[in-house]
Structure 1
Amino acid sequence: MSHTVSLPKPSSSVVDSPQRRILLLLLLILPWPKLVMTSSAFTVALRRRGDRVSANNICQCSEKPDGRLTVRCSGLRLAQVPVGLSNLTMRLFLDKNLLSSLPADSFSDLLLLDELDLSHNQLSSLEAGCFRGLASSLRFLDLSSNRLSTLDPAALGGLRAHTNLTHNPWHCDCRMQLSTPQLDLDPSSLSEVVCQTSDLPNLGAAGRPLVLLVEDWDLCLSVRRATDVVMLVTMFLWFSAVISYLVYYIRQNQEDARRHMEYLKALQGRQV
């Protein structure tokens, strides 16, 4: 004789318990680890919050037999240079991102860095010391297709790298004239380093290649003239102040001498 044993059905209170609801809610809200590591949406979220992204999570690395690394962080919509870059990095590709500026010491730990690609970003400023530590190692620097208008010598920090400066809205001034000799510009691209604006607007400088403009004009001449004028005005004011003091001093002594003579005459008159 067989017996059928019926199991009790779980009550609705067990199925819909608060603990189970909380567990299901957490499973729906919490992100999966793999999505955090690889999703471009994660990178965009970090960019919007301004957080620094770890290069170990998002960049592709390839190692040479000597242990040096080539790191590619291209096209990741990064707004800042990622952290955690290995000091064995020899080639670093940060092209096609959203970098708008380079703060000081952005690459100071990468003492072996030989090639740096920053092309196709939104760079509009390079802070002083942004390439600090790279003067002795960096040989190739790509700053093309950005929004750079000025090139401050303090930002270069003594770099002697083979540099691409094409496709930027350059304002050609004295700083540009002093900075470009530090760099080994590609001769084939010199004609594409064009002055969109300049300190010589009335001489047809806008739209001319920088190399031709520097050959024809001294962009630092106006700065030197302004400095000379300031020095002349300062010296004139200083001499004027000295002469005014001397005139005042002489007149004051003459007045004191006159009063002293009148006093002596008065004494002699009383004695008589």
Structure 2
Amino acid sequence: MEKFDYKEFINRNIGFVTEEQQHQIQSSKIFVCGVGGMGGACVNSLARMGIEDITIADIDDFELSNINRQVFANTDTLGKSKVFSTQEQLLKLNPNINITSYEKDWPDSLDQICDKNKIIINGTDDILATLLIYRKAKMHGCTVIDAYASPLPSVYVVKPDDPRPEETLNFPTIGKSLDEITSDDIDVCVFKEIEFVMTHSSSVKYIDIEIAAEYMAGKRSRMSIAPMVIGTGNMMAYEVLFAILNKPSGADNKGYFWNPYKGKIEKPRNPLLAFFIKALVRRFLNKLLKDI
């Protein structure tokens, strides 16, 4: 077996980045919360990019339905912990990676995690977990890289002084402790994110709207397909690279959508146009949910 050599491993990175920048990449510390879909795709690229200090967290085991889009899900990892299966696979890419792993205990350790890792990838699909991450990130001066629950790949970057997504999307959770947040609040959060996605992108053109309505009504799981999920994860990995190297990026705290059907970027609309479109979207969604 050929001995692992870091310089040879990252040799083809050089040209995209300088050797000095590669040292910055190697020594960076990143937290990826949720290593299933987009989080798994992102951490896979981060490890292959040469980062050698990664903290990961996930509370779930791999299931058969994960294989269609989650890069570390396969017939060998079914029923196994996502976080430890991911750790095992990352060490096969680079045996020198320092990996810190958390399962259900990660929220209790989040202050410590944020002290160490100033770049956070939100790969969770849980509202309460997301709120906790963003609130702690602000307290500790961390940047969070995230994506919308969107049929189109997307990415946004929330720096420490930026408004939190709950403020941008006007969630009913603003000013509430996590213990005060109700299931009705969470339903409204889901609705408002979908409303934002439909207002600011052409996502609705590329899905079965009746199936999407069943997801909104809690009657089925969220739709996902490999190119969308893995593409989103890699867009997030690019943003990590830009953050590490302090390079400019096209993503701010509202982000953008990538439309592969048209080969173009879709950025949030201007506020005046968005105001009128959002009213139409809200009316459409409310009618759709009534019919379910």
User: What range is the shorter-chain TM-score in?
Assistant: under 0.3
Higher RCO by CA contacts (8 Å cutoff, separation 6 or greater): 2
Larger radius of gyration: 1
1 or 2, which has the higher helix percentage?
Answer: 2
TM-score normalised by the chain length of structure 2? 0.25
